[in-house]
Amino acid sequence: MKLHSKAVLLTAALLLSACSQNPFDRFGGAGGSGSGTNGVSTSALDPSSPAYFSETIGDRVLFEVDQSTLTASAESTLAQQARWLQDNGTYTAIIEGHADEQGTREYNLALGARRASAARDYLVANGVADNRLRTVTYGKERPIEICSSEDCYAKNRRAVTVISAGLGS
Amino acid sequence: MMKQFLSASFTGLMLLFGTPLMAQDGPLRIEITEGVIEPLPFAAPTFVAETAGADQLARELVEVITADLQGSGLFRGISPDAFISQVTSFDGAVQYADWKAINAQALITGAVSTTGDGQIIVKFRLYDVFAENQLGSGLQFVGSQDGWRRMAHKVADAVYSRITGEGAYFDSRVVYVSETGPKNLRKKRLAVMDYDGANQQFLTDDSSIVLAPRFSPNGDRVLYTSYETGFPKIYVLDIASVQRRGLEEQPGTMSFAPRFAPNGQDVVFSLTQGSNTDIYKLNLGSGTRTQLTNSPFIETAPSYSPDGSKIVFESDRSGTQQLYVMDANGGEPTRISFGQGRYGTPVWSPRGDLVAFTKQNRGRFHIGVMRLDGSEERLLTASFLDEGPTWAPNGRVIMFTRESSGASGSSTLYSVDISGRNLKAVQTGGSDPSWSPLLK
């Protein structure tokens, strides 16, 4: 049993390293939020670190099918994101909008743009300067979950705030 | 590696001697209707090799011609094992009785010879066996040896057109997105192939996501969307030189879903600004950009009518994706889709009579066609995920993307004819096909 979970961990670590060329997990994959789920103990992260942003606050918000309206839970996450961005003024962010695979390619690109924009507008309304934010849509091109059922689709309908060292670095 | 694909240059195409027979008067005719069609049986004996060393070519030409005709679903090749007559001379008399005996309604004979300078010469004749006469004139094609498949396609095109009365489509190419890897790490690159999947060549590497390439009206260029800059942006690529350039863009916007106008100079596309996506037109020569729709809804997937006067596109202004037609210069659009479900990715047929689309209804995807007033809707396919139709140059066949479901899901190019018959896989690991015009 112990051996088995070790093997799982090792696999997870390999997967992590396989997609770690992008420092902030460009497409919001499982890599950035692994703490606590694989038996790894969580140490206190520096609250001003991008890792704290993505893991403790949460870098993503989820959407209902074919919707770009923010849910109450999404608004709560984005309010914390806005506070962090205000406290850490040297960072900029790209907000990625994504769709699940149930939809045509072009429409999903436009839908992803709506989602990214909804998240961005909320951050701006909560005090983040809009020149620190940019949006991009990936449509259905970069799912993080690959099954074809609602469990996976729900996680793929997302807007991910990807932090990068921007202003003054 | 990325060499010019139109390497087969036809230096000559001429009528052979022989009495032209008006095809429309001949009894040998397939009328393509909505009913069930019994494929027309034909015999295509191995072509006569008229020079030494042309034997393999003579066999391969007939294999490709047979595959083209059978692949259309309208013809059935009779096995050579059943042949009573052998054709040993291109100009010899046809033994009609021997071909009637095996119920070959059409007979295709041909000859091939090679020249010292690497050219090949292909000749063929088509016979109506039961009328005991030649159908149309014999034809001769001259070209480079590495373009031999194109010559086979040209022979098959002539046979197809003479017997069906429809336009040809075998001598054509398809540009598409070649896909490898799992869904969450899929690698995409532009590729081009013959319509039947042969002669595949890559046009880009896989370092950025690329989407939905679209041929220019004469097949010399391709429009596509790439994430090269980190944001979706439209590029135009010259097929012969494989040189590409990004279209002029408005800072801070994203653009995608491009298509050429029939004039080859205007490009219509979607531009996203903030949360809103509208349709714009860009003139490649002058760089002038014109906004064609102006609504807070999603307007995308524009496609011109063949005469360039109108544009069909999708919009969710009614609450769900539906199809609309507007004037090519913009203006108030008219909704044309009213059935159940959602309609997207409309593409105007090259004949002007139909629009092909993707339909989503009750968790299934369909490729369908309807008239431009929305009447006579016909669904041709049904699956977990079918999308993105493109028309064969003759407006009789549609190619599209079929994605399979689940963690190991992958994309395959399929084709189907517009009556819903003859569904078949064309190329695995491919999406977003765009069919070229008939090659010259």
Q: Distance, in angstroms, between A46 CA and closest chain B CA?
A: 29
Domain presence at residue B429: yes
Can you give the pLDDT at residue A74? 98
Judge whether B376 and B357 are in contact, CB under 8 Å: no
State pLDDT tens for residues A110-163. Answer: 999 999 999 999 999 999 999 999 999 999 999 999 999 999 999 999 999 999
- Helix, strand, coil percentages in chain A from 3-state DSSP, rounded to 5: 45, 15, 40
Q: Which two tokens stand for residue A133?
A: 């934010």
Q: Can you give the pLDDT at residue B323?
A: 98
- Do B410 and B263 share a structural domain? yes
Reading the block at residue B176, the tokens are: 């598409």
Letter string b/e over residues B4-18, b meaning 16 or more CB atoms within 10 A of that residue's CB: ebeebebeeeeeeee
Residue B285 scores a pLDDT above 60: yes
Residues B224 and B333 in one domain: yes
Query: What is the DSSP pairing of strand A158-165 with strand B254-260?
Result: unpaired
Mean pLDDT (chain B, rounded): 92
Instruction: Identify which has the larger pLDDT, A26 or B262.
Output: B262
Same domain for B202 and B146, yes or no, is no
Residues B136 and B201 in one domain: no
Residue of A51, A27, A59 lying closest to A137 (CA atoms): A27
Task: Average the pLDDT over B85-112 and give the result.
Answer: 96
- Span B282-287, average pLDDT: 96
pLDDT band at A42 (very low <50, low <70, confident <90, very high): low
Degrees to nearest 5, angle at CA A110 with A105 and A113: 125
Distances (CA, A) of B294 to B72, B73, B211, B326: 43, 44, 25, 12
Expressed as residue numbers, the domain containing B327 is 176-435
- The pLDDT of residue B116 is 86
* Contact between B298 and A104 using a beta-carbon 8 Å cutoff: no
Domain boundary residue among B144, B164, B184? Answer: B164
At A39, the pLDDT band (50, 70, 90 cuts) reads low
Residue B64, domain CATH: 3.40.50.10070
By CB atoms closer than 10 A (0-12, 13-18, 19+), residue B306 is middle
- Domain-located, residue B219: yes
Q: Based on the domain organization, do B359 and B265 belong to the same domain?
A: yes
**Which pLDDT value is given to residue A71?**
98
Interface membership of B374 toward A (CB under 8 Å): no
Chain A contact for B360, CB < 8 A?
yes
**SS3 label, residue B416:** strand
- Predicted confidence at residue B368, as pLDDT, reads 98
Which residues of chain B have a CB within 8 Å of the CB of A114?
275, 298
Interface of B with A in 387-416 (CB under 8 A): 387-388, 403, 405-407, 409
- Say yes or no to pLDDT of B255 above 50: yes
Whether B171 is covered by a domain: the verdict is: no
Residues B72 and B205 in one domain: no
* Region of residue B274 (phi > 0: left; psi between -120 and 50: alpha; otherwise: beta): left
Among residues B5, B1, B392, the alpha carbon closest in space to that of B192 is found at B5
What angle is formed at CA A79 by the lines to CA A74 and CA A81, rounded to 5 degrees?
95
Q: Hey, are the CB atoms on B360 and A104 less than 8 Å from each other?
A: yes
Mean pLDDT of B77-83: 97
Kindly state whether A19 is in contact with chain B, defined as any CB-CB distance less than 8 angstroms: yes
- Its sign, for the CA torsion B99, B102, B103, B105, is negative
- B350 and B271 in a single domain? The answer is yes
- SS3 assignment, position B147: helix
User: Cα(B85)–Cα(B284) distance, rounded to whole angstroms?
Assistant: 58
> Contact A110/B183, CB-based, under 8 Å?
no
Q: Which domains does chain A have, with CATH numbers?
A: 2-165 (3.30.1330.60)
Q: Please give the backbone phi and psi of residue A125, each rounded to the nearest 5 degrees, phi first.
A: -65, -20
Q: How confident is the model over B113-170, as pLDDT tens digits?
A: 999 888 999 999 999 999 999 999 999 999 999 999 999 999 999 999 999 999 999 9
- Nearest of B308, B303, B307, B311 to residue B435 by alpha carbon: B303
Residue B86 within any structural domain of the chain: yes
pLDDT of residue B355: 98
Among A19, A106, A138, the strongest candidate for a mutation testing the B interface, having the largest count of B CBs within 10 A, is A106
Q: Residue A25: is its pLDDT beyond 60? A: no
The last residue of a domain, from among B116, B141, B164: B164
Which residues of B, range 326-345, sit inside 8 Å of A by Cβ? 344-345
Minimum distance, in Å, between the CA of residue B28 and any CA atom of chain A:
42
Asked if A143's CB is within 8 angstroms of B298's CB, the reply is no
Residue B401 near residue B390 (C-beta atoms within 8 A): no
Residue B275 is predicted with a pLDDT of 96
At residue A122, the pLDDT reads 98
Residue among B27, B47, B6 nearest B140 (CA): B47
Please write the tens of the pLDDT for every residue from A67-113.
999 999 999 999 999 999 999 999 999 999 999 999 999 999 999 99
What ipTM was predicted for this assembly?
0.91
We report the CATH number of the domain holding residue B383 as: 2.120.10.30
Token pair 């090679």: residue: B114
Q: Chain A interface, mutation test: which of B277, B278, B299, B315, most A Cβ atoms within 10 Å? A: B277
Indicate the residue among B164, B191, B217 that finishes a domain: B164
| Cβ proximity of B107 and B129 under 8 Å | yes
Please answer yes or no on whether A109 and B252 come within 8 Å at the CB atom.
no
| pLDDT for position A28 | 55
* Angstrom distance (rounded) from CA B102 to CA B41: 9
Kindly state whether A146 is in contact with chain B, defined as any CB-CB distance less than 8 angstroms. yes
* A103, A110, A141: residue with CB nearest B270: A110
Whether A15 contacts chain B with CB within 8 A: no
DSSP-derived letter for residue B439 is: P
d(CA B57, CA B111): 10
Rg (Cα) of chain B, in Å, rounded?
Answer: 23
Please report whether residue B72 resides in a domain. yes
Strands (E) located in A32-132? 60-62, 91-98
**Separation in Å, CA of B227 to nearest CA in chain A:** 9
**In the predicted structure, residue B8 carries a pLDDT above the cut 80:** no
Q: Name the minimum distance, in Å, from the CA of B230 to any CA of chain A.
A: 8
Is residue B160 domain-shared with residue B291, that is, in the same domain? no
How many structural domains is chain B composed of? Answer: 2
Residue-wise pLDDT tens digits, B306-365: 999 999 999 999 999 999 999 999 999 999 999 999 999 999 999 999 999 999 999 999
Question: Are the CB atoms for B204 and B226 separated by under 8 Å?
Answer: yes
- B147 and B186 inside one domain: no
Residue A132 contacts B, CB cutoff 8 Å: no
User: Does B30 fall in a domain?
Assistant: yes
For residues B156 and B246, state if they share a domain: no
Alpha-carbon gap, residue B96 to B28, rounded angstroms: 15
Residues B257 and B152 in one domain: no
Contact B173, B194 (CB under 8 A): yes
Using the Cβ of B375 and the Cβ atoms of chain A, whether some distance falls under 8 Å is answered with no
B385 falls within a domain: yes
Q: pLDDT-derived band of residue B36, with 50, 70 and 90 as boundaries?
A: low
pLDDT at B145: 92
Structure tokens at B185: 């790490």
Q: Assess whether B336 and B401 both reside in one domain.
A: yes
Question: Do the domain assignments include residue B440?
Answer: no
Rg for chain A (alpha carbons), in Å?
16
Rounded mean pLDDT, B408-434? 96
